[in-house]
Amino acid sequence: SYELTQPPSVSVSPGQTARITCSGDALPKKYAYWYQQKSGQAPVLVIYEDSKRPSGIPERFSGSSSGTMATLTISGAQVEDEADYYCYSTDSSGNRPFGGGTKLTVL
Amino acid sequence: QVQLVQSGAEVKKPGASVKVSCKASGYTFTSYDINWVRQATGQGLEWMGWMNPNSGNTGYAQKFQGRVTMTRNTSISTAYMELSSLRSEDTAVYYCARACYGCYGMDVWGQGTTVTVSS
pLDDT by 10s per residue, chain A, length 107: 899 999 999 999 999 999 999 999 999 999 999 999 999 999 999 999 999 999 999 999 999 999 999 999 999 999 999 999 999 999 988 889 999 999 999 99
Q: Among partner residues A48, A96, A100, which is closest to B44 by beta-carbon distance?
A: A100
Burial of A46 (0-12, 13-18, 19+ CB in 10 A): buried
CB-neighbour burial class of residue A85 (10 A; exposed 0-12, middle 13-18, buried 19+):
buried
Q: What is the mean pLDDT of residues B29-39?
A: 97
Q: Give Cα B27 distance to the centre of its chain.
A: 18
Q: What is the pLDDT of residue A13?
A: 97
Does residue B79 carry a pLDDT above 90?
Answer: yes
Would you state the pLDDT for residue A45?
96
Out of A1, A48, A95, the one facing B103 most closely (by C-beta) is A48
Strand partners, B115: B10, B92
CA gap B52, B35 in Å, rounded = 9
Q: How far apart are CA B119 and CA B107, in angstroms?
A: 36
**Structural contact between residues A10 and A20, judged by C-beta atoms closer than 8 angstroms:** yes
**pLDDT value at residue A51:** 97
pLDDT (0 to 100) of residue B96: 98
CB contact under 8 A, A94 and B59: yes
Confidence (pLDDT) at B10: 98
Residue B98 contacts residue B34 (beta carbons within 8 Å): yes
